[in-house]
Structure 1
Amino acid sequence: MQAVEAAKTTEQIQRIEMALSDNHGQVYADLWKIGLNLALRISDLLSLTYEDVSGEKLKIVEGKTNKLREIVINQAARQVIERRRARHPDHIYLFQSDSNRSRTMIKPIDRSVVSRKFKEVGEQNSIKMHLNTHSMRKTRGWMMHQAGVSIEQICKVLNHSSPAVTMAYIGITQADIDRTYDEFCL
């Protein structure tokens, strides 16, 4: 099985966002954008209601870890929230399903649908990446690492149990570590 990849440049991030919008609709581009900015797991992201994201900070008990997290809603995330609210004033969930099968039930978009859409976009010639819903968190972690944020801080943002987990998650390989010996000849 091929490893899920992070987008490693702002150009890749923008191409993915555009491809999601063009091929599957703005809702999937919005999911990508807010996922990059909040660094939540897909199950937590899809469970968000407008009430959850109405303040400056999001307080959420993560489904996987059952830990409370407090996340600042940055300007990019706020723009997505406001755009979605303007387009869907009657929705309860930030990413509510509009499918005909779920018309009688109010529920968020299904994670398997999101995963399939991301995978399809990743397979396009202009992208050529193994994408899925973890790609958003991996991308945030990678971009933070590239900007010089410490692994410990990224570990905290992603709510990982250890820096080693974070390093593996964002794709820091043994080859990357080995290169530092040549780069830093003291």
Structure 2
Amino acid sequence: MAEVQAIKKHETIQLIGHLLEMRCSKQMADIWNIGLNLALRISDLLAIQFDDIQGERLIVKEMKTGKQANIKLNHKVLMHIQDVRAEYPQHIYLFQSFRNQQSKNIKPRPLTRRAVTKAFALVGEELKLALGTHSMRKTRGYHLYQNTKDIGRVMKMLRHSSEGVTLRYIGITQDDVDKDFVELEI
């Protein structure tokens, strides 16, 4: 599996959302738009149940780390969630699978990671980008770092314990550090 990177241009971020909706489904575009704003791993994002949303907060236990994520939802995410809820009031999961929905004996399940990976890869191929499910989390971290230059805030948002891991994760390379030394003359 190819390593995915943060999407650095805002126009490309918007284009990805548009292409996901056009080529795949509105649900895939919602995953992209909501995922960018929550910075969760895909397993945690897909497992969100409407019961996990309490007012303007999302409270979930991360599967990988066991850490609790308590995220204040921004306006854009709240609007997307309200739209999904209005369209599918009977759903348990925010990103519920539509497979076997006619069968009464099958318990509702979230959309699979595999389906999302396939949709993202399709759009990534079209744009010649290594686009994957982790792109949302990395993109959020990258843009927070660019806006604040505060690696501590990015670490806290991503719930990382090492600055080095976070810098590599969001795609800050030695070339970026070298450029900062050259461009900032005191």
* Same-fold call, TM cutoff 0.5: yes
Q: Which position in structure 1 is the counterpart of 2:133?
A: 133
Question: Structure 2 CA distance, aligned partners of 1:181 and 1:47?
Answer: 43
Question: Structure 2 CA distance, aligned partners of 1:49 and 1:184?
Answer: 46
Q: Which position in structure 1 is the counterpart of 2:93?
A: 93
Q: Which position in structure 2 is the counterpart of 1:118?
A: 120
Q: Which amino acid aligns with 2:78?
A: R
Q: Which position in structure 1 is the counterpart of 2:53?
A: 53
Structure 1: state its 5+ residue gaps: none
Question: Structure 1 CA distance, aligned partners of 2:83 and 2:118?
Answer: 24
Q: Which position in structure 2 is the counterpart of 1:180?
A: 180
The total of aligned residue pairs comes to 184
- Scaled by the length of structure 1, the TM-score of the pair is 0.94
Query: Is the Cα–Cα contact under 8 Å of residues 116 and 133 in structure 2 kept in the other structure?
Result: yes
| Map 1:160-175 → 2, pairs under 5 A | 160-175=160-175
Structure 1 position 15 matched with structure 2 position 15: yes
- Choose which of 104, 107, 110 in structure 1 pairs with 2:109: 107
Q: Which amino acid aligns with 1:6?
A: A
Query: Is the Cα–Cα contact under 8 Å of residues 97 and 108 in structure 2 kept in the other structure?
Result: yes
What RMSD in Å do the two structures reach over aligned CA positions?
1.5
Q: Which amino acid aligns with 2:109?
A: K
Deviation at 1:140, TM superposition (A): 0.4
Structure 2: state its 5+ residue gaps: none
Higher mean C-alpha deviation, range 45-54 or range 135-144:
45-54
Q: Which amino acid aligns with 2:122?
A: E
| Map 1:1-12 → 2, pairs under 5 A | 2-12=2-12
Question: Structure 2 CA distance, aligned partners of 1:115 and 1:129?
Answer: 13
Question: Structure 2 CA distance, aligned partners of 1:80 and 1:51?
Answer: 16
Q: Equivalent residue of 2:71, what SS?
A: strand
Report sequence identity in percent.
Answer: 45
Deviation at 1:101, TM superposition (A): 8.0
Q: Which amino acid aligns with 2:94?
A: L
- Scaled by the length of structure 2, the TM-score of the pair is 0.94
Moved >4 Å (runs of 4+): none
Q: Which amino acid aligns with 1:63?
A: M
Q: Equivalent residue of 2:53, what SS?
A: coil
Deviation at 1:105, TM superposition (A): 2.8
Query: Is the Cα–Cα contact under 8 Å of residues 155 and 161 in structure 2 kept in the other structure?
Result: yes
Higher mean C-alpha deviation, range 33-42 or range 103-112:
103-112
Q: Equivalent residue of 2:50, what SS?
A: coil
